[in-house]
């Protein structure tokens, strides 16, 4: 009885104060949220885990005011997810070869073993029979979509992979019993993010381009027309990047970025905001929503995502958690944090009042044309210019306001990451607003510098290899008869991958990660025929990673690196470009220039190891 009393004390609501008021209604340390499932406006399930051991489902039937434990398992399994068909039918998917189907009294009704499957990224169920699995790992280095219509007794599999395409699939949602929508990445050819509609009957699919240098950590469908994704864009050092939100108003056919902004402390009068992008997004209706990010970041919209307001005081009791999830229970937003806390909003003080009806509008000019994708600041509120450079703040209160055009890149106090591609004039407009105001225009002053990037592509025997295409971001080139290539104009202080492509060859390294501040002519790719099994002739500036695929550890051999390593870090990124580990490169020679890293806690999938400018990949399996 004493233990029960203690738990009750922990769960007593605690009110936290900020611009908006939140209430802490659950706090069990060490439980990490996998996802939040809203059954209806009052019925909410949150799926928590504690690393690889215990998994819990907590339920609220009063919009998050109180919570009770309705299911627990102590199976030693990694990375689980939950899909609730309704309050009586729940699927638990563990990223191995099976699922659980749970019904009514929360006893396991069916254990669904999926033949050949080693691991997978995510899954979705339309009902108790029809479902999909994304990024299924069956064959090494290949991403499958699996489709069932009989609760995984049987399934069909699909993948798309050739010299220019290798698709990976995230956040599947059923549009109806035939169509699944998801976010798709392509690791070959044109790299970046796509929105996909996939027909599970015919395996036909349609991809819509969302943009380069943008990662998606969540997708939320307001209705059949309005869809949002959130994540980070323009990845910078240490896994940081701009806060990124993309919006579609035509069911995913076209997309635009409604937030693309690095929220460092210099942007908001030295107010600290973590520079690590956003992780989860949700909407109450077509106008009102919020997104959350790492270390307590929260942004709100009250105009359908056209502008976003930053919470300017992080909540003390949030403790800056590594990750957060958010969904609405009816009109009440609920946040679950990495530290096992659940919050519900009890007072929204940022929403415009009925008398806030004024509009501020203008344009950002670059020469004689509008400059797209530029953030405009109004207090702690950010909007973006459209494709023609126009912007607009709506539902603004009467009174004094300051409007500024901002660089979306980091241009703050940390000199090593300093980059300011444009200045804007005037610096700002100070307004005493009494009516709608237009013509608040800014002129962009170009501060960018461009450099040349060049090198060679050779065979293992050292001969130049011609007609090999390469990309850096949106720039392309092709190698000449002697294997030489050149990108004459690459923007400084932007992080890119330089990648060669071929049906006939694989390349070592497969890519270089570059961020330049001078002309560079030292890049070298060695091409090895894809049909060759000879791996003994390897180039310099190469990381040798074993075993492939890996399970508990990887060993990185540096014997083919000819540069100094003492001041470098070993960085590991996931398939979406998120930094997972950053470890100092010390004592590597102790093990014969092998460097061992424990990856036993990693989820299954493709990862990338980066040392300096050298990048190689490996595959983690269970």
- Given this chain, do its domains 358-446 and 540-622 carry the same CATH topology? yes
Mean pLDDT rounded to a whole number for the chain: 82
Tell me the mean pLDDT in the region 584-601: 58
Tell me the mean pLDDT in the region 166-189: 86
- Going 584 to 587 to 593 to 597, the CA torsion angle's sign is negative
Amino acid 622: pLDDT: 59
Amino acid 212: pLDDT: 66
Confidence of residue 436 (pLDDT cuts 50, 70, 90): very high
* CATH code for the structural domain at 540-622: 2.60.40.10
Cα dist. 608→63, 185, 266, 440, 508 in Å?
41, 15, 31, 45, 14
Amino acid 1: pLDDT: 30
> What proportion of the chain, given as a percentage, has pLDDT over 70?
78
Q: What does the H/E/C string look like for 510-526?
A: CEEEECCCCCEEEEEEE
Quick: pLDDT tens for 445-481: 999 999 999 999 999 899 999 999 888 877 889 999 9
The beta strand positions in 379-491, using DSSP E, are: 381-384, 390-396, 399-405, 422-425, 429-433, 442-446, 450-459, 469-472, 475-478, 484-491
Taking the model in full, what pTM does it have?
A: 0.77
Confidence of residue 538 (pLDDT cuts 50, 70, 90): very low
pLDDT tops 70 at residue 498: yes
Most confident of 156-160, 177-181, 275-279: 177-181
The whole-angstrom separation of Cα 411 and Cα 407 is 7
The whole-angstrom separation of Cα 617 and Cα 622 is 17
Written as six digits, the tokens of 301 are: 């919209």
Task: List the one residue out of 290, 328, 293 whose CA is nearest residue 308.
Answer: 290
Amino acid 619: pLDDT: 75
Amino acid 515: pLDDT: 79
> What proportion of the chain, given as a percentage, has pLDDT over 90?
41
Amino acid 9: pLDDT: 30
Quick: pLDDT tens for 363-415: 999 999 999 999 999 999 999 999 999 999 999 999 999 999 998 776 655 55
The whole-angstrom separation of Cα 483 and Cα 463 is 8
Domain 449-532 has CATH 3.30.365.10: no
The whole-angstrom separation of Cα 499 and Cα 513 is 9
Amino acid 574: pLDDT: 76
pLDDT tops 60 at residue 417: no
Task: List the one residue out of 329, 292, 327, 326 whose CA is nearest residue 308.
Answer: 292
pLDDT tops 60 at residue 564: no
Q: Which residues pair with residue 548 across a beta bridge?
A: none
Domain ranges of the chain: 222-343, 358-446, 449-532, 540-622
| Fold held by 358-446 | Immunoglobulin-like (2.60.40)
Which secondary structure element, helix H or strand E, spans residue 575, and what is its range?
none
Instruction: Using only the alpha carbons of the chain, give its radius of gyration.
Output: 25
Amino acid 607: pLDDT: 82
Tell me the mean pLDDT in the region 33-49: 90
Tell me the mean pLDDT in the region 166-184: 90
Of the listed ranges 41-50, 420-429, 545-554, the one predicted with least confidence: 545-554
The whole-angstrom separation of Cα 406 and Cα 542 is 40
Amino acid 187: pLDDT: 64
Amino acid 189: pLDDT: 56
Quick: pLDDT tens for 131-146: 999 988 777 667 889 9
Strands 324-329 and 332-337, sheet pairing: antiparallel
Dihedrals φ, ψ of 419, to 5°? -155, 125
Question: Which carries the bigger pLDDT value, residue 281 or residue 85?
Answer: 281
Question: Which carries the bigger pLDDT value, residue 16 or residue 172?
Answer: 172
Question: Which carries the bigger pLDDT value, residue 536 or residue 80?
Answer: 80
Amino acid 300: pLDDT: 97
Confidence of residue 575 (pLDDT cuts 50, 70, 90): low
Please provide the DSSP assignment of 158-177 as one string: E--BSSS-BEEEEEEEESSS
pLDDT tops 70 at residue 359: yes
pLDDT tops 90 at residue 322: no
The whole-angstrom separation of Cα 73 and Cα 341 is 20
């Amino acid at each position: 009885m004493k233990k029960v009393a203690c738990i009750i004390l922990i769960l007593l609501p605690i009110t936290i104060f900020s611009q908006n008021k939140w209430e802490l209604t659950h706090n069990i340390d060490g439980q990490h949220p996998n996802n939040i499932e809203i059954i209806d406006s009052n019925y909410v399930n949150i799926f928590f885990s504690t690393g690889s051991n215990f998994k819990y489902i907590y339920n609220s039937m009063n919009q998050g005011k109180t919570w009770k434990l309705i299911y627990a398992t102590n199976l030693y399994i990694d990375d689980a997810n939950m899909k609730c068909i309704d309050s009586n039918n729940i699927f638990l998917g563990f990223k191995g070869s099976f699922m659980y189907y749970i019904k009514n009294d929360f006893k396991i009704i069916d254990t669904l073993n999926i033949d050949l499957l080693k691991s997978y990224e995510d899954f979705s169920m339309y009902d108790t029979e029809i479902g999909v699995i994304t990024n299924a790992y069956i064959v090494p280095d290949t991403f499958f979509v699996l489709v069932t219509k009989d609760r995984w007794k049987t399934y069909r599999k699909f993948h798309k992979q050739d010299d220019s395409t290798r698709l990976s699939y995230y956040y599947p949602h059923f549009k109806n019993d035939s169509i699944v929508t998801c976010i798709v990445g392509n690791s070959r050819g044109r790299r970046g993010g796509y929105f996909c509609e996939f027909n599970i009957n015919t395996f036909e699919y349609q991809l819509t381009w969302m943009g380069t240098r943008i990662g998606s950590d969540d997708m939320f469908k307001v209705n059949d027309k309005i869809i949002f994704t959130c994540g980070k864009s323009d990845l910078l050092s240490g896994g940081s990047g701009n806060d990124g939100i993309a919006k579609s108003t035509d069911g995913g056919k076209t997309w635009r970025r409604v937030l693309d902004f690095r929220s460092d402390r210099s942007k908001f009068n030295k107010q600290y905001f973590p520079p690590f992008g956003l992780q989860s997004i949700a909407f109450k209706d077509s106008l009102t929503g919020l997104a959350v990010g790492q270390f307590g970041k929260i942004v709100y919209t009250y105009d359908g995502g056209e502008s976003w307001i930053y919470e300017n005081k992080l909540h003390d009791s949030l403790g800056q958690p590594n990750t957060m999830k958010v969904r609405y229970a009816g009109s009440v937003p609920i946040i679950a944090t990495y530290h096992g806390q659940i919050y519900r909003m009890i007072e929204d003080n940022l929403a415009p009042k009925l008398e806030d009806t004024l509009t501020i509008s203008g344009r950002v000019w670059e020469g004689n044309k509008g400059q797209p994708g530029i953030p405009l600041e109004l207090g702690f509120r950010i909007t973006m210019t459209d494709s023609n450079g126009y912007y607009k703040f709506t539902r603004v209160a009467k009174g004094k306001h300051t409007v500024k055009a901002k660089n979306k890149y980091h241009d703050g106090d940390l000199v090593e990451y300093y980059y300011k591609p444009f200045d804007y004039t005037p610096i700002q407009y100070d307004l005493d607003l009494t009516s709608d105001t237009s013509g608040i225009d800014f002129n962009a002053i170009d501060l960018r510098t461009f450099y040349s990037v060049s090198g060679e592509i050779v065979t293992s025997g050292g001969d130049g290899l011609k007609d090999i295409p390469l990309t850096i971001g949106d720039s392309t080139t092709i190698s000449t008869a002697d294997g030489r290539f050149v990108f004459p104009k690459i923007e400084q202080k932007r992080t890119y991958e330089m990648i060669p492509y071929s049906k006939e060859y694989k390349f070592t390294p497969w890519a270089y990660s570059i961020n330049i501040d001078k002309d560079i002519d030292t890049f070298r790719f060695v091409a090895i025929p894809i049909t060759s099994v000879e791996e003994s002739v390897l180039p310099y500036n190469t990381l040798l990673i074993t075993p492939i695929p890996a399970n508990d550890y990887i060993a990185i051999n540096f014997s083919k690196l000819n540069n100094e390593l003492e001041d470098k870090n070993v960085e590991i990124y996931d398939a979406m470009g998120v930094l997972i580990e950053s470890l100092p490169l010390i004592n590597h020679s102790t093990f014969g220039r092998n460097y061992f890293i424990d990856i036993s806690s990693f989820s299954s999938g493709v990862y990338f190891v980066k040392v300096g400018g050298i990048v190689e990949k490996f595959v983690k399996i269970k």
